């Protein structure tokens, strides 16, 4: 069994984990920040040891990958003796379009297909590709695997992925729902089946990935049948700074009133809306949570709107699947905010869901939070996208 390096590359950042797949344990993890910007640095954390911060100029991603490999093999804070110990690299790729319904070994043809998807995710895919190329340059003989955020959702039926717009926009431009957070939804739904001790084929699960970006996914028999994010990660739930669903005519109305162009309008919807926009307090739910505790009406308003939108999606997905066995909560907010979990679940008494307040008083631990006799189960499942990427990588490189 091998050691797998998992890479999640952004335009100015690079996150990594080195995972020993024999034990599925993380040997080291870290983050390169401000690549190509003044003040770049690498934060490297070997398992069970203190974080080392290395401040060095990183003009590009090649240098960042080089620093990661140096850190991993360093005599003092490294965790392997040489690069050859890395059996394969798994790369997170945001958009796989309709070309990828699963993870793949990266070849020249795959890179070409990824480039074609870049138009659909102009902020993310080019950065993912830069990371892949930088790794290929420094590790020319190491197999690389691409794991796509969209792939899990490729099982959605046509009625779920089509928008109510002229069909030719789908045939000509591939405008449709793709969905994101697929690696997380896949991991969490598999864990739900394991925790409940039932085959995933027999389960109807709704996964609520509630983080800064947030999405809900209906998983029927282990397959994604619908999800709240769409062509881009802007659709669906109210998020940290993203609006989620709105009446599209709002854009024209506000652009006219506020004298905005389309780029400024998109900026408002992506960066100034959501929890931040409604509350005016912060995009960080922790601040909204303490605002709610202090009785701040702006915080309460944002909290309740957020919860209500999650509830509406759960209700519609229970209908879409003609039943529901379990709701799972994951990501920063889903794993840490018991109040929001309980508030969401309180709407589903009519389905026979009851939360046990004691079981729900946990953070970040795999737990069934519903009562023993609850008909629909509720669970807290900490997500682990890196492990899922590493597992796919092993599977493909075997
Ligand atoms: P993520 O994007 O998964 O990192 O999640 C970010 C969101 O999770 C933010 O809204 C945070 O406020 C929330 N969050 C993260 N950690 C905690 C925590 N320890 N307690 C409460 N909320 C948290």
| Position 251 confidence tier, pLDDT thresholds 50, 70, 90 | very high
Instruction: Report whether residue 331 contacts ligand 1, using a CB cutoff of 6 Å.
Output: yes
pLDDT tens readout for residues 20-36: 999 999 999 999 999 99
Q: Which of 389, 382, 331 is nearest to 92 (CA)?
A: 389
Percent of the chain with pLDDT over 90: 96
Does the pLDDT of residue 1 top 80, yes or no? no
Contact status, residue 333 vs residue 210, Cβ threshold 8 Å: yes
Please confirm, yes or no, whether 149 is among the known catalytic residues. Answer: yes
Is the shortest distance between the CB of 287 and ligand 1 below 6 Å? Answer: no
Average pLDDT of the chain to the nearest whole number = 96
Q: 86-93 and 3-9: which strand pairing?
A: parallel
356 is in an annotated binding site: no
Kindly report, residue by residue over 193-213, the tens digit of the pLDDT: 999 999 999 999 999 999 999
Mutation pick for ligand 1 pocket among 333, 362, 364, 383 (CB with most ligand atoms within 8 Å): 333
Ligand 1 proximity of 383 Cβ (cutoff 6 Å): no
Q: What is the three-class DSSP state of 84? A: helix
92 labelled ligand-binding: yes
Contact (CB, 8 A) for 92 and 183: yes
Which residues have a Cβ under 8 Å from the Cβ of 250 and sit 6 or more positions away? none
* Exposed e or buried b per residue across 26-36, where buried means at least 16 C-beta atoms within 10 angstroms of its C-beta: bbbbbbbbebe
pLDDT confidence of 120, banded at 50, 70, 90? Answer: confident
Which neighbouring-strand residues pair with 268? Answer: none
Could you give the C-alpha distances from 223 to 101, 257, 276, in angstroms and in order? 11, 44, 33
Q: Looking at residues 301-316, what average pLDDT do you find?
A: 98
Index of the ligand 1 atom closest to the CA of residue 383: 3
Distances (CA, A) of 299 to 27, 131, 269: 40, 39, 19
State if residue 336 touches ligand 1 by the CB under 6 angstroms criterion: yes
Neighbours of 57 (CB within 10 A): 12
On the question of pLDDT at 11 being above 80, the answer is yes
Q: Is the CB of 208 under 6 A from ligand 1?
A: no
**Is 318:344 a contact under the CB 8 Å cutoff?**
no
Which neighbouring-strand residues pair with 29? 17, 45
Alpha-carbon distances of 261 from 122, 268, 369, rounded to whole Å: 19, 11, 46
pLDDT confidence tier of residue 73, bands split at 50, 70 and 90? very high
Q: How many CA atoms lie less than 13 Å away from 236 in the CB half-sphere?
A: 31
Nearest atom of ligand 1 to the alpha carbon of 209: 3
In 3D space, the residue among 114, 127, 109, 195 whose CA is nearest the CA of residue 380 turns out to be 195
Long-range contacts of 364-368 (CB under 8 A, 24+ apart): 364/335, 364/336, 366/191, 366/195, 368/195, 368/196
Q: Are the beta carbons of 188 and 383 closer than 8 angstroms? A: yes
**Ligand 1: distance of its center to the CA of 286 in Å?**
7
Per-residue pLDDT of 311-337, as tens digits, reads 999 999 999 999 999 999 999 999 999
CB 282 near ligand 1, within 6 Å: no
Q: Which atom of ligand 1 is nearest to the CA of 331?
A: 3
Distance (Å, whole) CA 316 – CA 366: 26
The whole-angstrom separation of Cα 123 and Cα 82 is 33
| Average pLDDT value for residue range 294-312 | 98
Residue nearest ligand 1's atom 19 by CA? 336
- Measured from the Cα of 333, ligand 1's closest atom is 8
Q: Is the CB of 187 under 6 A from ligand 1?
A: no
* Residue nearest ligand 1's atom 14 by CA: 332
Closest residue (by CA) to atom 12 of ligand 1? Answer: 285
The DSSP secondary-structure symbol of 370 reads: B
Distance 345 CA to ligand 1 centre (A): 19
pTM of the model as a whole: 0.96
Burial class of residue 140 in the structure, from the number of CB atoms within 10 Å of its CB (0-12 exposed, 13-18 middle, 19+ buried)? exposed
Q: Which of 50, 74, 149, 245 is catalytic?
A: 149
Q: Taking the C-alpha atoms of 272, 273, 278 and 280 in order, what is their torsion angle to the nearest 10 degrees?
A: -10
Substitution candidate for ligand 1 out of 215, 285, 330, 380 with most atoms within 8 A of CB: 285
Ligand 1 center from residue 52 Cα (angstroms): 24
Span from the CA of 197 to the centroid of ligand 1 (angstroms):
29
Test site for ligand 1: of 336, 361, 362, 364, most ligand atoms within 8 A of the Cβ: 336
- Residue nearest (by alpha carbon) to ligand 1 atom 15: 332
* Atom of ligand 1 minimally distant from the CA of 240: 10
Furthest-apart CA atoms within the chain: distance in Å = 62
């Amino acid at each position: 069994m091998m050691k797998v390096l998992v890479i999640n590359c952004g335009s100015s950042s690079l996150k990594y984990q080195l995972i020993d797949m024999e034990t599925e344990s993380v040997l080291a993890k870290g983050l390169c920040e401000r690549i190509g910007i003044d003040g770049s640095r690498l934060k490297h954390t070997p398992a069970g040891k203190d974080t080392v911060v290395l401040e060095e100029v990183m003009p590009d991603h090649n240098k960042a990958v080089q620093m990661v490999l140096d850190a991993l093999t360093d005599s003092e804070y490294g965790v392997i003796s040489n690069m050859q110990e890395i059996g394969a690299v798994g790369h997170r790729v945001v958009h796989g379009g309709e070309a990828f319904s699963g993870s793949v070994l990266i070849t020249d043809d795959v890179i070409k297909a990824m480039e074609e998807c870049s138009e659909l995710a102009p902020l993310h895919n080019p950065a993912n590709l830069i990371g892949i190329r930088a790794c290929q340059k420094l590790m020319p003989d190491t197999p690389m695997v691409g794991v796509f955020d969209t792939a899990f959702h490729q099982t959605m039926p046509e009625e779920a992925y089509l928008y109510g717009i002229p069909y030719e926009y789908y045939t000509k431009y591939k405008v449709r729902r793709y969905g994101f957070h697929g690696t997380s939804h896949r991991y969490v739904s598999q864990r739900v089946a394991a925790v409940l001790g039932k085959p995933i084929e027999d389960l109807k699960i709704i996964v609520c990935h509630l983080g800064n970006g947030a999405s809900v996914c209906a998983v029927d028999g282990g397959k994604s049948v619908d999800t709240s994010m769409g062509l881009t990660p802007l659709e669906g739930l109210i998020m940290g700074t993203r609006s989620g669903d709105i009446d599209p005519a709002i854009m024209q109305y506000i652009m006219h009133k506020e004298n905005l162009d389309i780029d400024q309008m998109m900026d408002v919807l992506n960066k100034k809306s959501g929890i931040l926009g409604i509350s005016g307090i912060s995009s960080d739910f922790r601040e909204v949570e303490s605002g709610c505790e202090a009785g701040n009406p702006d915080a309460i308003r944002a909290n309740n709107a957020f919860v209500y939108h999650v509830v509406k999606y759960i209700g519609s997905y229970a209908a879409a699947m003609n039943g529901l066995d379990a709701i799972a909560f994951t990501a920063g907010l889903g794993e840490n905010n018991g109040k929001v979990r309980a508030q969401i679940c309180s709407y589903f008494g009519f389905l026979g869901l009851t939360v046990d307040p004691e079981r729900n008083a946990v953070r970040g631990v795999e737990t069934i939070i519903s009562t023993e006799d609850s008909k629909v189960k509720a669970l807290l499942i900490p997500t682990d996208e890196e492990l899922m990427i590493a597992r796919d990588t092993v599977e493909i490189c075997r």
